[in-house]
Structure 1
Amino acid sequence: MSTLSDLSGLESDSGAPGGGRDQRSPEPVRWLPLLSVCAVLVAVLLLLAGRYGYYMDELYFRVSGDHLDWGYADQPPLVALLAKVQIAVFGDSVFALRVVPALLAGTTVLVTALISRELGGSHRAQLLTAAATAGSLASLAAGHVLHPTAVDHVVWLTACWLVIRMIRTSDTRLWLGVGAVVGVGLLAKYLVLLLVLGLAAGLLVAGPRALLRDWRLLAGVGVGVVLAAPTLLWQAVNGWPQFGMASELSSPFGVESVVNLVISSVLMIGPLLTPVWVIGLVALFRRPQWRQYRAFGVAYLLIFALLAVLGAQARYTEGLLTVFLAMGCVVAAEWASKLSRSALLGTAVVGNTVIAALLALPVLPIGAYGEDGPLGGFGEPQVGQTGWQELTTQIGAVYHALPAQDQARAVIYGDNYAQAGAVDRYGPEIGLPAVYSGHNSYADFARPADDKTVVIAFGVDRARFSALFGQCEARGKFTFELPVLDRDKEILVCRDPVQPWSQLWPRLRWLGTF
């Protein structure tokens, strides 16, 4: 009976020639099977892209695309640019925002299969890696909505693939490619710096250290810095607001944060494929032919420890977990020589794909994620894509009930960027006035003119907001059948701001999540 040690390669390092370096050339890539898996994933993601509605962050990115800048308080500029381009090409729709994420998810599958090839994986292992990656929760979630993670995920994997290839071939010219990938990644999400620091520490601890002494490493750093310079300069000029966002996303260190990291690590790839990536991580430290790649294992352990101390989110490690999934697939493909083992492995991949799809994709009627539905409590990513048009309609009812003279002086205020983004998207269709928010960079897009003295406010703290106006009264609550975050929040009508908007606005600005 096979054990974890059998699967991961228990043999000692001591007899490995050349310090355990694998001298075999990788098998040629069979492009058709791999690209077929990528194409199926992209097709499924695009077919489901228009179901439900915008995810809350997408409403913000859509508006950010109309206010292009080199940076924002909570993100670099690339995702806003992608939103702008996709809307220009495909139209102003949910589907339009999700074309690039779907294509990036397909790219992720291909790159991960190439990682398994670099590690000595057979054609079978490469195909298994592609199928497992396509069926992981990380890939499906990143490929379904427009989010910095859609870019960040493929950036991590591409950088890891280039480093693995560089270790195998000793071709340090690849440092230039790593630098370019990291530079582009910094335009989408600053999190890639975590990978850079982790791998640098891993190479220093586990080797091969010669890569760190090569002059092309400095050239690669230069390429990355040049590409990321505009957004880094924007952060510097604006007081590094990203540090404030990082603080908001952290929580105190404790047993609970460690437990959450472990549970999230199981869910990120999927429960049925977690044994595969765990086997890959163990094999990385036990297989002599993979000794040269152990920097990745050291990097993961260091990053995991850092996230635990900072109380940060485990999904920041999903790129490395996908690398370990590729390693585990190499081992599993070797193990599954019998039909029964192949069937067991195939069942795990299919089952994991089904679970991941139910959690990340709109494959079921939305009611399945309601309080009384079979997946109630697991549907935040799904439920977060609903209710925005209904919210706008109910805010619109309050606006249209105002006297004409009040309507002429009215604006709408959303406490967070998703509420404001929803009204920006659906409000013009029903004749609503301009909408504003003090949340993150939405506060920088615009503020009301001083002659706007009537505010329809939603989602705000009533006591705090009322102190800024001569009077505030509730005109209703947002009603919706699903447990969305905004359900039952009040719609207020406030009049006569106590200060001009130019002085009031700094008091309404806030940085953080919701």
Structure 2
Amino acid sequence: MQTEIGSGKEARTETLVLIGIALAVMLIHLLTNGRYGFHRDEFQFLSDARHLDWGFVAYPPFTPFVERLGLQLFGVSMVGLRLFSVIAQALAILVTGLMARELGGGRLAQVTSALAVATSGLPVFEGTEFQYSSFDYLWWVLIAYCVIRLLKTEDPRWWLAIGVFVGMGLMTKYSILFFIAGILGGMVLSSARRHFASGWFWGGFVVALMIFAPNFFWQARHGFISVDFLRQIHARDVRIGRANGFVKDQFVICVNLATAPIWIAGVVYFLRSERYRMLGWMYLIPFVLFFVGKGRGYYLAAAYPMLLAMGAVVWERKVAGLTRVWRRVVLVAGFTAMTAYGVFIYAVLVPLALDGPLKQFALKNNGDLREEFGWNELVQAVAGIRDSLPAEQRSNVGVVVGNYGEEGAVEILGPAYKLPMPISATNSAWLRGYPAVPPSTLIVVGYSREAADRAFTSCRLAGHNGDSEGVKNEESQGHPDIFVCGSPRLPWPEFWKEFQNYG
């Protein structure tokens, strides 16, 4: 009885330590997430959150739904809206430590695996912005935890929980299909294949399908438009080199570089384990599919927490067999290297400073932070151009935008200047169409002079999308000019068919 009580107290203490690590990461993000501005991608989620549906061209409906909830609770608040991403990453850190515990790890293994996730590039980034990949990361981690519980306890009812999280993953980001392939392939290639005969497995399968069904039917009604979107976006990414360096990214983006020996050990020991071999294949199969299919490097990041959990258990056992002196040397060296890389990652990815060398270092090395600048100035410039027009033009003016960042910025920030809803043909905005009474005067944002002249009549340069801090990003460098134009060269219905764009 004393042993059970002691172990219970120890488990509670270990859980509190894991919660402390997760809360510390949350605090860092909460203190810094109000700096700079919204990212281009966040504006797309904000726009789609105002037009809820069971599906969107670029992604399933879960993330816009959460964003809509955030708007209701916090209004247009960066800290408030990003809170959901922060919570998702804190939970991923906590669950990683719990995975290590389920695999037989003590406090060292649990803390090591949790800290490894807390100092890895992709998880840190996911706490700085509101992205669908933040929730996708959490679903992968929760699925891995449930699989570990399934294999450890031999309780097939865990398939229902797996089905719930697979369904939520399908409602968040379609790339979870690769992880599903890993789950099914891992079952076939391990003793877990016996679960194909379990009614609980098929029950979990049905649960996942029921959760995903609304989005599937939405896709069917829209001709599976997201398939076309994903095909074109993937071709673009490969063409411009975003899929390059996949293997390198597994070490420097997906996970803390200093923990490479730990997660590699995790792969090896999963594959050597009769009970847990399925989890090794759950990593290797998506890895091969992404590598062969030229996926972007960060797509596999959410598979690493389970590897870190197992690897940390192995590391803990190896360290325990060392002499006291060598144990101390290994632990100090390991945690020092992990911390050093973690400090570097936070300096690059998190807006730690409002000004000075640290801010400049982050902006130099982090293109996503650079995309958070200039949106207010862009909307102000559009409003200023609108106000400069003759009265007869102001009465029937529209704002045409070239990408979803400009669309969201004008839609979310524009009401303060009484700007009309933007006219956008990017992703789901194209499905929503153009105004019932098309405007005769257009303020055109996000186009080169040549592109504006090809699409519209009587274009003239009217202003620039100023960036007061001079940050070089897509808006300030790619298309800084704003034009005033007449109607499209084609009738609106024909123009709209030609106008559709994926981004």
Letter in 1 for 2:446: G
Of 98-107 and 342-351, the range deviating more from structure 2: 342-351
Decide which of 346, 361, 373 is 1:357's aligned counterpart.
Answer: 346
- 2:161 matched residue in structure 1: 177
Decide which of 434, 439, 450 is 1:463's aligned counterpart.
Answer: 450
State the secondary structure of the residue aligned to 1:460.
coil
Q: Deviations over 1:323-364 (max 9, x none)?
A: 112222222233344112111122123223212212321113
Letter in 1 for 2:492: W
State the secondary structure of the residue aligned to 2:18.
helix
Letter in 2 for 1:463: E
Q: Decide whether the 8 Å contact of 2:182 with 2:282 is kept in 1.
A: yes
Q: How does 1:406-421 map to 2 (within 5 A)?
A: 406-421=393-408
State the secondary structure of the residue aligned to 2:486.
strand
Q: CA deviation at 1:463?
A: 3.0
Change over 3 Å in CA distance of 1:249–1:332 after alignment to 2: farther
- 2:299 matched residue in structure 1: 316
Of 55-64 and 203-212, the range deviating more from structure 2: 203-212
Of 177-186 and 431-440, the range deviating more from structure 2: 431-440
1:205 aligns with 2:194: no
Letter in 1 for 2:56: Y
Instruction: Compute the TM-score of the two structures, normalised by the length of structure 1.
Output: 0.88
1:474 aligns with 2:461: yes
- List, as ranges, runs of 4+ consecutive aligned residues in structure 1 with deviation greater than 6 Å: none
Q: What is the rounded CA distance, in whole Å, between the counterparts of 2:298 and 2:145 in structure 1?
A: 19
Change over 3 Å in CA distance of 1:366–1:194 after alignment to 2: farther
Q: Decide whether the 8 Å contact of 1:69 with 1:77 is kept in 2.
A: yes
Q: Decide whether the 8 Å contact of 1:179 with 1:223 is kept in 2.
A: yes
Unaligned runs of 5+ in 1: 1-24
Q: What is the rounded CA distance, in whole Å, between the counterparts of 1:431 and 1:222 in structure 2?
A: 48
Q: Deviations over 1:195-252 (max 9, x none)?
A: 1111211221133221222221111000111111101111111111221222133249
Letter in 1 for 2:465: F
Change over 3 Å in CA distance of 1:366–1:506 after alignment to 2: farther
- 2:278 matched residue in structure 1: 295
Decide which of 366, 380, 392 is 2:379's aligned counterpart.
Answer: 392
Instruction: Compute the TM-score of the two structures, normalised by the length of structure 2.
Output: 0.90
Q: How does 1:306-455 map to 2 (within 5 A)?
A: 306-337=289-320, 338-365=327-354, 373-375=360-362, 377-455=364-442
Q: Decide whether the 8 Å contact of 1:137 with 1:270 is kept in 2.
A: yes
- 2:38 matched residue in structure 1: 54
Q: Decide whether the 8 Å contact of 1:273 with 1:352 is kept in 2.
A: no
- 1:483 matched residue in structure 2: 472
Q: Deviations over 1:21-64 (max 9, x none)?
A: xxxx9x84532111111221222222222111111111111111
Q: Deviations over 1:146-188 (max 9, x none)?
A: 1111111110010011111111111111001100111112111
Unaligned runs of 5+ in 2: 1-7, 321-326
Decide which of 66, 70, 77 is 1:82's aligned counterpart.
Answer: 66
Q: Decide whether the 8 Å contact of 2:423 with 2:434 is kept in 1.
A: yes
Q: What is the rounded CA distance, in whole Å, between the counterparts of 2:282 and 2:80 in structure 1?
A: 37
Q: Decide whether the 8 Å contact of 1:335 with 1:341 is kept in 2.
A: no
Q: What is the rounded CA distance, in whole Å, between the counterparts of 1:122 and 1:32 in structure 2?
A: 14
1:268 aligns with 2:257: no
Q: CA deviation at 1:415?
A: 0.5
Letter in 1 for 2:294: G
Q: What is the rounded CA distance, in whole Å, between the counterparts of 1:446 and 1:62 in structure 2?
A: 18
Q: What is the rounded CA distance, in whole Å, between the counterparts of 1:461 and 1:387 in structure 2?
A: 18
Q: What is the rounded CA distance, in whole Å, between the counterparts of 2:271 and 2:487 in structure 1?
A: 67
Decide which of 84, 108, 112 is 1:128's aligned counterpart.
Answer: 112
Q: Decide whether the 8 Å contact of 1:253 with 1:308 is kept in 2.
A: no
Decide which of 482, 486, 491 is 1:495's aligned counterpart.
Answer: 486
Q: What is the rounded CA distance, in whole Å, between the counterparts of 2:496 and 2:355 in structure 1?
A: 38
Q: Decide whether the 8 Å contact of 1:366 with 1:382 is kept in 2.
A: no
Q: What is the rounded CA distance, in whole Å, between the counterparts of 1:376 and 1:127 in structure 2?
A: 31
- 1:6 matched residue in structure 2: none
Q: Deviations over 1:467-502 (max 9, x none)?
A: 333211222333431111111422111113334433
1:242 aligns with 2:226: yes
State the secondary structure of the residue aligned to 2:392.
helix
Q: What is the rounded CA distance, in whole Å, between the counterparts of 1:213 and 1:317 in structure 2?
A: 29
Change over 3 Å in CA distance of 1:215–1:315 after alignment to 2: same
Change over 3 Å in CA distance of 1:259–1:279 after alignment to 2: farther
Of 303-312 and 277-286, the range deviating more from structure 2: 277-286
Letter in 2 for 1:264: D
Letter in 1 for 2:111: L
Change over 3 Å in CA distance of 1:91–1:375 after alignment to 2: closer
Letter in 2 for 1:496: S
Q: How does 1:142-161 map to 2 (within 5 A)?
A: 142-161=126-145
State the secondary structure of the residue aligned to 1:291.
coil
Change over 3 Å in CA distance of 1:258–1:146 after alignment to 2: closer
Letter in 2 for 1:410: V
State the secondary structure of the residue aligned to 1:305.
helix
Q: What is the rounded CA distance, in whole Å, between the counterparts of 1:253 and 1:144 in structure 2?
A: 26
Q: Decide whether the 8 Å contact of 2:113 with 2:305 is kept in 1.
A: no
Q: What is the rounded CA distance, in whole Å, between the counterparts of 1:250 and 1:435 in structure 2?
A: 27
Change over 3 Å in CA distance of 1:269–1:510 after alignment to 2: same
Q: What is the rounded CA distance, in whole Å, between the counterparts of 1:247 and 1:216 in structure 2?
A: 35
